[in-house]
């Protein structure tokens, strides 16, 4: 059974480790990440952007696919199916479709409107027993058409949203989506500490988890980050492994062009990456 993420995130926060939230795009991605979590005995969150949900024929298809794959693989570790960067309408639709966790990202609204909509969405998610994440201060960069200039979250605004009872909070601390530019200033730990203090220890979420130096992410985890989102790194290892397979001419040998063979190196690379992150980076391995 898929679960809400509240318990796994609260335990991670208490234990000073983090849960990886890895974005999925299709059946291969789903199987690969679930296999990693099961092998590492780690709780995991499967993130689904609205763009990826559309690609997979909608929230209902995604929820049904993930539930069936989860059961067929005999997964025993806690797994949450989480809407990533949900819009007001998208979050409602994902809740309706059977997701077990949602992010409502109102960071592009004026704060008052973000506050009102976050309040409504928190009440709705909690009435169905789901966990909910909200965002304050945009995360820089571009993800699946969601573009933000990025900013440091205002601690007072973070406190106001945290006090609504949100389960975990995404707050901009200099992190950005996609590849980090060479002149990136790094995470702002002073702001992170300030936000953690003013929210009375609300579990925090680090978006843009691909490409941040590992020691910075690990320091952020000690300061209250309990969920790290990873999307781009999975895409990069998938593309690289698939390219190598084709460039080596493996798709021409035997029945190497069979999609089940062609997509396997990329899927295996995702499993290896996620498992390695759970074991050596986030510290969630063995916590299921
Ligand atoms: O919401 C998803 C993430 O924030 C992923 O960021 O593409 O930099 O790994 P990333
Ligand atoms: Zn994100």
* Span 191-216, pLDDT tens digits: 999 999 999 999 999 999 999 999 99
pLDDT in tens, 229-260: 999 999 999 999 999 999 999 999 999 999 99
CA distances from 49 to 109, 122, 129 (A): 19, 19, 21
Q: What are phi and psi of 102, to 5 degrees?
A: -140, 150
Query: Who lines ligand 1 at CB under 6 A?
Result: 23, 47, 84-85, 143, 177-178, 207-210, 229-233
Q: Residue 64 has which token pair?
A: 């049904």
Domains for the chain: give ranges and CATH numbers.
Answer: 6-282 (3.20.20.70)
Average pLDDT, the chain: 95
DSSP at 180: P
All residues with CB under 5 Å from ion ligand 2 = 207, 229
Q: Is 122 helix (H, G, I), strand (E, B) or coil?
A: helix
Q: Is 154 a catalytic residue?
A: no
ipTM at complex level: 0.99
Contacts of 259 (CB under 8 A, 6+ apart): none
pLDDT at 179 over 90: no
**Ligand nearest the Cα atom of residue 230:** 1
pLDDT in tens, 53-102: 999 999 999 999 999 999 999 999 999 999 999 999 999 999 999 999 99
């Amino acid at each position: 059974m898929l679960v809400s993420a509240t318990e796994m995130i609260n335990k991670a926060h208490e234990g000073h480790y983090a849960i990886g939230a890895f974005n999925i795009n299709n059946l291969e991605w789903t199987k690969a990440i679930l296999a990693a979590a099961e092998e590492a005995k780690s709780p995991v969150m499967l993130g689904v952007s609205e763009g990826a949900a559309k690609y997979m024929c909608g929230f209902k298809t995604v929820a049904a696919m993930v539930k069936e794959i989860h059961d067929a693989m005999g997964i025993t570790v806690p797994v949450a199916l989480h809407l990533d960067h949900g819009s007001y309408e998208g979050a409602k639709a994902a809740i309706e479709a059977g997701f077990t966790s949602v992010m409502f990202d109102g960071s592009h609204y004026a704060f008052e409107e973000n506050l009102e909509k976050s309040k409504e969405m928190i009440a709705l998610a909690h009435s169905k027993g789901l966990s909910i994440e909200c965002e304050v201060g945009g995360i820089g960069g571009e993800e699946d058409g969601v573009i933000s200039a990025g900013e440091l979250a205002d601690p007072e605004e973070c406190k106001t949203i945290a006090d609504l009872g949100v389960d975990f909070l995404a707050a901009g601390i200099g992190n950005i989506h996609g590849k980090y530019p060479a002149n990136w200033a790094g995470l702002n730990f002073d702001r992170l500490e300030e936000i953690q203090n003013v929210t009375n220890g609300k579990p925090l979420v680090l978006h843009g988890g691909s490409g941040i130096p590992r020691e910075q992410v690990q320091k952020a985890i000690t300061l209250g980050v309990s969920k790290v989102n990873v999307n781009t790194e999975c895409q990069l290892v998938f593309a690289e492994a698939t390219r190598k397979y084709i460039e080596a001419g493996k798709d021409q040998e035997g029945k190497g062009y069979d999609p089940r063979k062609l997509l396997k190196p990329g899927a295996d690379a995702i499993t290896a990456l996620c498992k390695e992150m759970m074991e050596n980076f986030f510290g969630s391995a063995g916590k299921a």
